[in-house]
Amino acid sequence: MTHSAELITLARYMAGEFDNRQQAIADPAWYVHLHLWLRPVPLFTEDSLTLFAEQANIVNLDQPYRPRILRLYPNPTEPGSLQVQFYMLKNPDAIRGAGRNPELLKQLTTAQIEFLPGCTLRVKQRLVSPNAYEFSAFSATNTPCSFSYQGKDYQISLGFEATPEEFRTYDKGIDPATGKATWGALLGPFRFTKRQDFADELPL
């Protein structure tokens, strides 16, 4: 399938290894120094560009966490616009560390991931120059992403912005009982700079 220029550009901005070193140095009380991997994975290739995401604290790079799948594809109800659908790994340990070891992703199939029905982001795009966009992605329903894992209920407020210079994440963990944010981007987004580009791994 031929993808739109906007979809390809968003995937190219996102595909890579990032860190928020400058932010963590400037405000260590609120921002942990993180590495974030967004690695292309060959799923839903008929209409989408899909990324595997995980992150790790700089002091424990061999212990990544929050593995997830992000499917970028055209919004079926709004021609010309995009959306992002999140999926959960049924067995996260099977591909833990795939951000640094992409060989682990080659055998990943849709049978190994779980669709999260309330975890869809609507993408807005703005052309800032002839060849550059600014993308923002936030909940299509203005409600947290809710799911259960190993008998526990979780809620996460999801969101991000992508530009040629920076990837900003707004993810926050929500206490299901109180509705209050308990971790994540409590004082504003995590601001990531791309350190290694994985765009050439996209199945274009």
pLDDT tens digits for 38-89? 999 999 999 999 999 999 999 999 999 999 999 999 998 888 899 999 999 9
Enclosing H/E stretch for 14? helix 5-14
Q: What digits encode the pLDDT tens for the residues 14-51? A: 999 999 999 999 999 999 999 999 999 999 999 999 99
The string of DSSP codes covering 31-70 is ---EEEEEEE--SSTTT-EEEEEEEEEGGGTTS-EEEEEE
Cα 102 from Cα 79, distance rounded (Å)? 33
What is the sign of the dihedral through the CA atoms of 194, 195, 200 and 202? negative
All domains of the chain in start order, with CATH: 5-201 (2.40.128.590)
77 phi/psi in degrees, rounded to 5: -105, -10
Q: Does the model's pTM come out above 0.85?
A: yes
The letter for the amino acid at 68 is R
Q: What digits encode the pLDDT tens for the residues 154-203? A: 889 999 999 999 999 999 999 988 889 999 999 999 999 999 999 999 99
